């Protein structure tokens, strides 16, 4: 979560490591309770959308149309959905109520991180990506310094972040590889549409798999095909494999025969 208008003050982040301690508490007794949700910009990851659309009993296409607006991942042309404000000319989260978040158990990853910010550095010469954290002390927030001391690692565990990051990891890898190509590589519009479909519109991608020649082009086991019909996680994983194959040329999916024009 980031806030670009709040109080129009510069917020200087404090860099932290996994074992760095900090104190923070958020509850209804604070005067600032829910204010951060009324002036925020929240981008959504693939797993965010799967969790939220299930919570709301919607298809991914319905959720994207009703609750999001398009944005672009910084440093790339790659698209990413952003939560649409509840009302026009505001930055209020559509899921905030007087008592707090109405979908709290399925809230997005950015909300789970708060008051921490994070970034990922991709080093082509190393196997692992370097992750770094920052404590964001915004003027509007009165929760800093309250509650017991907790480390960054403990905070991540308490907010259920590991599950989100595990599922989103391959999506993040594609983004980092795109960034490593530099600003002089242009991505065609159709490719951007493919990226959006596979990463965020899991129900739409499932239709794409079964309603086109996809299964005549790519070799999938009967077991995997059945799982894709029933499981959003399996469908997302196939989408990522497809992007790696057709966008990055990694040949993750085996080709049955060469056919064109399936997208």
- DSSP-derived pairing of the beta strands 79-83 and 68-72: antiparallel
- pTM reported for the whole predicted model: 0.88
Per-residue pLDDT for 198 more than 90?
yes
How many CB atoms sit inside 10 A of residue 49's CB? 23
Q: Please write the tens of the pLDDT for every residue from 133-158.
A: 999 988 889 999 999 999 999 999 99
For the ranges 79-88, 115-124, 155-164, the maximum mean pLDDT occurs at 155-164
Q: Please write the tens of the pLDDT for every residue from 5-25.
A: 444 455 667 889 999 999 999
Q: Please write the tens of the pLDDT for every residue from 225-239.
A: 999 999 999 999 999
């Amino acid at each position: 979560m980031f806030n670009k208008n709040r109080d129009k003050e510069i917020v200087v982040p404090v860099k932290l490591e996994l074992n760095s301690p900090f104190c923070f508490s958020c509850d209804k007794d604070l005067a600032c309770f829910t204010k951060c949700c009324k002036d925020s910009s929240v981008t959504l990851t693939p797993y965010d959308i799967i969790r939220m659309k299930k919570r709301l009993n919607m298809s991914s296409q319905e959720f994207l149309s009703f609750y999001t607006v398009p944005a672009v991942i910084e440093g790339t042309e790659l698209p990413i959905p952003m939560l649409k404000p509840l009302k026009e000319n505001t930055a209020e989260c559509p899921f905030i109520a007087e008592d707090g978040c109405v979908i709290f158990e399925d809230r997005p990853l950015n909300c789970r991180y708060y008051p921490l910010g994070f970034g990922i550095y991709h080093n082509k010469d190393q196997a692992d990506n370097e992750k770094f954290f920052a404590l964001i002390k915004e003027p509007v927030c009165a929760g800093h310094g309250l509650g017991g001391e907790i480390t960054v690692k403990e905070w991540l565990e308490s907010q259920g972040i590991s599950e989100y990051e595990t599922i989103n990891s391959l999506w993040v890898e594609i983004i980092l590889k795109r960034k490593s190509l530099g600003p002089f590589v242009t991505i065609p519009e159709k490719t951007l549409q493919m990226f959006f479909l596979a990463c965020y519109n899991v129900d739409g991608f499932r239709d794409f798999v079964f309603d086109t020649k996809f299964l005549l082009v790519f070799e999938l086991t009967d077991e995997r095909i059945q799982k894709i019909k029933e499981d959003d996680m399996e469908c997302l994983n196939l989408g990522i494999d497809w992007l790696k194959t057709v966008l990055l040329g990694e040949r993750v999916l085996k080709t049955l025969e060469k056919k064109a024009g399936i997208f």
